[in-house]
Structure 1
Amino acid sequence: MGLYGILLVLHILASIAIIGPAFVMPIIRRSAKTVGQLHFAFGITTKLAIMPKIGGAVLILTGVWLMIITKMGLSQLWLNVSILLSLLMVVMIDGLIEPRMKKIIKIISESQDQGNEIPTEFGLLIKKIIPIETAAQLLMIAILVLMVVKPF
């Protein structure tokens, strides 16, 4: 396996490191029924959050390197659209989801001493994040399809 093959495998593994947690973390968070379960769920998702960060860095490095060694550059429309959608997804996650999640984590940590019942404010905040998370997941699927199918 040459350099191209190694880079391609790393690129694919990095995309899995991003996509996997992005689909699993919301399911884990939404499955919690008590404050204790929420603390556990947020503990897990906080630990899983490192995977997309590392995966994202590897994905960018290997993607740029693949573009250089194949001399593709930005000449392919599917690649340009993929990059644009990726940037939009990063803005959604870092700019819209993360700040809201920090607020939710604060509410959960403050309610730890108030029994086992999940605060109603938590449910309202989660309902506001669900459409944004769904949009980010749909962007991930679109990017994946563009990378695999290369339609244009």
Structure 2
Amino acid sequence: MFGLLLVLHLLASISIIGPAVMMPMIRRSAKTMGQLHFVLRLTTKLAIMPKIGGTVLILTGIWLMVISKMGLSQMWLNVSILLSLLTIVMIDGWIEPRLKKIEKLLSEAQDQGNEIPAEFGLLIKKIVPVETAAQLLMIGILVLMVVKPF
């Protein structure tokens, strides 16, 4: 049972980290309005994967803690949970609302031709540092989970 939970836990972490790392890169690759529309629709559809994966990750993580009788006694686990919560706040509270604003502005600006207006480039560039920070936090969490340094 422990092995199956661990595999589910690892697959859930991949379903979160993969899209979180790749979606910003895909979004930044858009050069025309058509590409930007496509990329934003694609990333909106893919956004469900981290949400499902996050739920599975939390449930399997709690279950693994109960089975192993670890609880919150390990510092690496407490730091991982704290970093995870911070990452969720960054993504759900800062990045997603701004992406929704960009999508709304894009839908209103459909008749402006094929060039991406500079204002959209600026809005996307404002998200980049927060996305990078969230990606680094995810890598940090992964390192803590694998290495268990303290």
Using the size of structure 2 for normalisation, the TM-score is: 0.99
Name 1:62's counterpart in structure 2.
60
Name 1:137's counterpart in structure 2.
135
Q: 2:80 aligns with which of 79, 82, 89?
A: 82
Q: 2:38 aligns with which of 16, 33, 40?
A: 40
Structure 1: segments with no counterpart, 5+ residues: none
Q: 1:149 aligns with which of 137, 144, 147?
A: 147
The percent identity for this pair of structures is 80
Q: CA deviation at 1:27?
A: 0.7
Superposed structure 1 runs of 4+ greater than 2 Å apart: none
CA distance in 1, matches of 2:92, 2:39: 20
What value does the CA root-mean-square deviation take over the aligned residues?
0.5
Structure 2: segments with no counterpart, 5+ residues: none
CA distance in 2, matches of 1:48, 1:8: 24
Name 2:126's counterpart in structure 1.
128
Name 2:22's counterpart in structure 1.
24
Q: CA deviation at 1:120?
A: 1.2
The C-alpha deviation readout for 1:77-117, integer Å capped at 9, x for no partner, is 00000000000000000111011101111111111111101
CA distance in 2, matches of 1:103, 1:97: 10
CA distance in 2, matches of 1:105, 1:120: 15
Which structure 2 residues correspond to residues 85-104 of structure 1 after superposition, within 5 A? 85-104=83-102
The C-alpha deviation readout for 1:3-37, integer Å capped at 9, x for no partner, is 10000000000000000000110011100000000
Letter in 1 for 2:15: A
Name 1:105's counterpart in structure 2.
103
Name 1:73's counterpart in structure 2.
71
Q: CA deviation at 1:56?
A: 0.1
Aligned length: 150
